[in-house]
Amino acid sequence: MKKITTALTALTLAFSASMAMASECDPGEVVAKLSHVTGGTTHPKVVAANSLAERVNKEMNGKLCIEVFPSSTLFGDSKELEALLLGDVQILAPSLSKFGSYTRQYGVFDLPFMFKDMDAAIRFTNSDSGKDLLNAMNDVGFVGLGYWMSGMKYFSGNKALILPTDAEGMKFRVQASDVAKAMIAAMGGSPQPMAFSEVYGALQTGVVDGQENTWSNIYTKKFFEVQNSVTETSHQLLAYLFMTSNEFLDGLEPDVRKQFLQIADDVTQEANQNVKAKELANRENILKAGGTINVLTDEQRAAWVDAMKPVWKQFEKDIGAQLIKTAAGA
Ligand code: SIN
């Protein structure tokens, strides 16, 4: 019984924490719901989303009010983009890997070993090509407000993954991205696209053997608890499109829109300045919590690069050779 009471208390606390940002708007205010799938308190997207809401709700003084719904509590991966078009949510920050049904160009962000580090990715997103990509889905009704970096990605597995050959025959959860699927296939693994909210359970029950993610996602979603170890491959970028809909933005009064866009830009700059420190802190948090991290030698890392590089050619036509060249040169 004590166990049940404790579990119920924990559930109530978690629910209150997740809904904490959702109750601050007064009746009559213009409300924008911001939905996202990540959780915890130290995750870069959680911090950026909460900072946006705090600034808008304070500085815009009732002209606009943002309610934040983290951890897929309002919409998960499969429904959120559709919900934005239907007007059921107004602000999102999905991974750039999740737009395959709307644009092929975002595949450039998924190409393995495209960006040496997040600084290179930020240089690309600040370039003219990167800025143009914010508008790649305007015809659908989506407006890119900015890119929020999340981190480089690392493989975790139910056994140590030191060389790509270690991954042969393993099932890996991937985001809904054709590039990610091709990358896993190039390693001899089997890609299993799955919503983010289902990953912990799938790793725990053995539905999949491994996954790839940032330190912040691996720590805040506790993936390290149900995996043998994480390998520091840095093989791919995870970044988000901080976005809204044309319908929502066009519906704001011009002065309200201007102030919102200025705060959105400030929050984006700040989030990207702080993201590296947050990632490193969550790497440390994994170690402190008893997780294992495999650091690769240069030769071992080169083997991962070799195994995955053929994927670039496969997607050159979809993404565009010039865009790939620009991103690679950033
Ligand atoms: C996210 O960070 O928004 C989720 C990433 C994933 O689906 O792995």
- Which atom of ligand 1 is found nearest the CA of 240? 3
Mutate to test the pocket of ligand 1, among 196, 200, 243 (most ligand atoms within 8 A of CB): 196
Flag whether 112 is in a domain.
Answer: yes
DSSP string for 30-48: -EEEEE-S--SSS-HHHHH
Nearest protein CA to atom 7 of ligand 1, as residue: 196
For position 186, which CATH number holds?
A: 3.40.190.170
Amino acid 300 reads Q
Report the pocket of ligand 1 as residue ranges, CB < 6 Å: 37-38, 95, 150, 175, 196, 213, 217, 238
Mutate to test the pocket of ligand 1, among 217, 221, 243, 278 (most ligand atoms within 8 A of CB): 217
- Please give the tally of structural domains in the chain: 1
Distance in angstroms (rounded) separating the CA atoms of residues 81 and 89: 9
Distance in angstroms (rounded) separating the CA atoms of residues 199 and 221: 9
Flag whether 187 is in a domain.
Answer: yes
* pLDDT tens digit sequence for 251-284: 999 999 999 999 999 999 999 999 999 999 999 9
Flag whether 10 is in a domain.
Answer: no
Distance 169 CA to ligand 1 centre (A): 24
Distance 53 CA to ligand 1 centre (A): 21
Distance 239 CA to ligand 1 centre (A): 9
Strand locations in the chain (E): 31-35, 65-69, 91-92, 142-157, 171-174, 190-193, 210-213, 229-245, 293-294
Flag whether 259 is in a domain.
Answer: no
Distance 217 CA to ligand 1 centre (A): 7
pTM of the full predicted structure?
Answer: 0.92
DSSP 191: E
Q: Output phi, psi for 170, to 5 deg.
A: -90, 150
Flag whether 19 is in a domain.
Answer: no
Mutate to test the pocket of ligand 1, among 208, 215, 238, 282 (most ligand atoms within 8 A of CB): 238
- Which atom of ligand 1 is found nearest the CA of 173? 8
Q: CA angle at residue 162 from 160 to 168, to 5 degrees? A: 80
CA dist 85 → 41, 223, 257 (Å): 29, 32, 19
Per-residue pLDDT of the chain (330 residues; tens, 9 = 90+): 333 334 444 444 344 444 445 457 988 899 999 999 999 999 999 999 999 999 999 999 899 999 999 999 999 998 999 999 999 999 999 999 999 999 999 999 999 999 999 999 999 999 999 999 999 999 999 999 999 999 999 999 999 999 999 999 999 999 999 999 999 999 999 999 999 999 999 999 999 999 999 999 999 999 999 999 999 999 999 999 999 999 999 999 999 999 999 999 999 999 999 999 999 999 999 999 999 999 999 999 999 999 999 999 999 999 999 999 999 999
Residue-range definition of the domain harbouring residue 323: 104-129+150-238+274-328
Flag whether 253 is in a domain.
Answer: no
Flag whether 165 is in a domain.
Answer: yes
- Which atom of ligand 1 is found nearest the CA of 43? 2
DSSP string for 75-130: --TTTHHHHHHHTS-SEE--BGGG-TTT-STTHHHHSTT--SSHHHHHHHHHSHHH
- Which atom of ligand 1 is found nearest the CA of 216? 2
Flag whether 22 is in a domain.
Answer: no
Mutate to test the pocket of ligand 1, among 74, 150, 194, 223 (most ligand atoms within 8 A of CB): 150
